[in-house]
Amino acid sequence: MHHTDNIVIGAGPHGLAAAAHLGREGAETLVFGDPMSFWRDNMPKGMLLRSNWGATSIADYEGPLSLDSYCRTTGIKPGIPVPLEDFIDYGLWVHKEAVPDIDRRMVERVERKDGSFVLTLDDETQMAARRVIVAGGIAPFTVRPPEFRELPPELASHTGDHNDLAEFRGKTVMVVGAGQSATESAALLNELGAEVELIMRTDHIDWLHGETYRKMTGPFAPMLYAPTGVGPMGIARLVGFPDAFRRMPRRAQTRLGYLATRPRAADWLMDRLADIPKKLGTWVVRTEPDGDRVKVTLSDGTTREVDHVLYGTGYRVDITKYPFLDPALSGAVRKVEGYPVLRPGLESSVPGLHFVGAPATWSFGPAMRFVSGSWFGAASLTAGITGKPRRRPAHKARA
């Protein structure tokens, strides 16, 4: 059995960032996964990233792996907002520049044995590691409301189930949700020729005016926004520094986390949604198949018959849903509502087991859910593992 020091499971932005930072410090690290696969397979073609330019950088806010460095090195300049296809290409560039030797075999099982971790790969090979860094992403955490669970995938699906919405061209689609994934999916469907209606519990769409307000506030923007790009004016500063956020009272953390991540849509969607019918303050109470269509009953008593229901109901972290974590191992991790409770270095209560990305949200704040959270996560992880101080702040305090 091959033994190594550190194994990273996952090759999305957080896994790439973790491996890149560990590599800079000379830490022996193996990475398993398919680079940028979630973004390629679970995000729809034509999507634009809601995050601002700087917050779309992987691993570095400013530095050799930043989005600006990618543009300077390759001569490629993505649009603003950054298109999904350009972001995937950028992530693959980070992979080639900083973590070229990714092993694309999948990890089937991680167990704790005799003081180390034993990993079983999809070809039945086994490996042992002193430390495991879980960068498994959010795909296992999709929220599937009970009113849709009994419908087959041909009739109802989550926005994260599709990488091409063109399959719904010419069909009648009900989109449920008020956040970015639901509203942008509705816009894309409409532009692809589907007949769309948007259903949301709220009485309005909460528009995110981040870039507009940043420009309006000019030189005062750094006092109101953090480079991580998470949260509205003012709140962004409070959640943009994970080390400071984790020291706040838990009640304040909970409130700020909600304010920073409640369902919102980027204001550049306004015109694209203008001619789409919307049912506000309404929710789905019942669904039933009707041949190759689905009958939907809404809370106001009205009904619809549509070809498909697409729900943008988000993700809820629960690390026990990672299929590769042995139940005994995930059960041994101290958790709060599915989130692991993490120490500095993003280490769980099981020594040597670390979590980066969305699972770190409960301990270090909402920035960890987003690509920009990779700046802090990778640097803190590396400092915790190597014992060396972070080479530089996770980001500078400027807009």
Q: Are 195 and 326 within one domain?
A: no
Q: Which of 311, 342, 371 lies at the terminal end of a domain, its last residue?
A: 311
In a domain, 239, yes or no: no
What pLDDT score was predicted for residue 146?
A: 93
Q: Are 296 and 362 within one domain?
A: no
Q: Are 102 and 71 within one domain?
A: yes
Report the predicted TM-score, pTM, of the whole model to 2 decimal places: 0.93
In a domain, 50, yes or no: yes
Q: Tell me: the pLDDT tens digits for 313-326?
A: 999 999 999 999 99
Q: Are 90 and 199 within one domain?
A: no
Q: Name the residue among 172, 198, 171 with its Cα closest to residue 185.
A: 198
Domain count, the chain: 2
Q: Name the residue among 41, 40, 25 with its Cα closest to residue 90.
A: 40
Q: Are 268 and 370 within one domain?
A: no
In a domain, 242, yes or no: no
Its domain, for residue 278, covers 146-205+264-311
What residue spans of 129-247 are helical by DSSP H? Answer: 146-149, 180-192, 210-217, 221-224, 235-239, 242-245
Task: Provide Rg for the chain, Cα atoms.
Answer: 21
As a whole number, mean pLDDT of residues 306-316 equals 97
Q: Which CATH number fits the domain that encloses residue 112? A: 3.50.50.60
Q: Name the residue among 60, 81, 84, 83 with its Cα closest to residue 70.
A: 60
- DSSP label at residue 22: H
Q: Are 132 and 163 within one domain?
A: no
In a domain, 277, yes or no: yes
What pLDDT score was predicted for residue 396?
A: 43
Q: Are 169 and 300 within one domain?
A: yes
Please answer whether residues 131 and 117 qualify as being in contact, where contact means their C-beta atoms are separated by less than 8 angstroms.
Answer: yes
In a domain, 126, yes or no: yes
What beta strand segments (E) does 168-283 contain? Answer: 172-176, 195-199, 207-208, 265-266, 278-279
Tokens of residue 122, six digits: 């999809």
As a whole number, mean pLDDT of residues 20-43 equals 97
Please answer whether residues 318 and 355 qualify as being in contact, where contact means their C-beta atoms are separated by less than 8 angstroms.
Answer: no
Whether residue 225 has pLDDT greater than 80? no
pLDDT bin (cut points 50, 70, 90) of residue 235 is: confident
* Strand pairing report for 126-134 and 353-355: parallel
Q: Tell me: the pLDDT tens digits for 353-366?
A: 999 999 999 999 99
Q: Are 116 and 130 within one domain?
A: yes
Higher pLDDT, 218 or 194: 194
Q: Which of 311, 343, 378 lies at the terminal end of a domain, its last residue?
A: 311
Q: HSE, CB side, 13 Å, CA atoms: give it for residue 136.
A: 24
In a domain, 159, yes or no: yes
What does the buried/exposed string (b/e) look like for 224-240 if buried means 16 or more CB atoms within 10 Å of the residue's CB?
bbbbbbbbbbebbbbbb
Please answer whether residues 186 and 320 qualify as being in contact, where contact means their C-beta atoms are separated by less than 8 angstroms.
Answer: no
Q: Are 284 and 151 within one domain?
A: yes
In 3-state terms the chain splits into helix, strand, coil percentages (rounded to 5) of 35, 20, 40
The percentage of the chain sitting over the pLDDT mark of 90, rounded to a whole number, equals: 84
Q: Are 153 and 285 within one domain?
A: yes
Q: Name the residue among 200, 215, 12 with its Cα closest to residue 99.
A: 12
What pLDDT score was predicted for residue 114?
A: 87
Q: Are 106 and 178 within one domain?
A: no
Q: Tell me: the pLDDT tens digits for 261-284?
A: 999 999 999 999 999 999 999 999
Q: What is the rounded CA–CA span in Å between residue 375 and residue 364?
A: 13
Q: Tell me: the pLDDT tens digits for 100-154?
A: 999 999 999 999 998 899 999 999 999 999 999 999 999 999 999 999 988 999 9
- DSSP label at residue 315: B
Q: Which of 252, 276, 311 lies at the terminal end of a domain, its last residue?
A: 311
In a domain, 211, yes or no: no
Whether residue 211 has pLDDT greater than 70? no
Q: Are 60 and 161 within one domain?
A: no
In a domain, 301, yes or no: yes
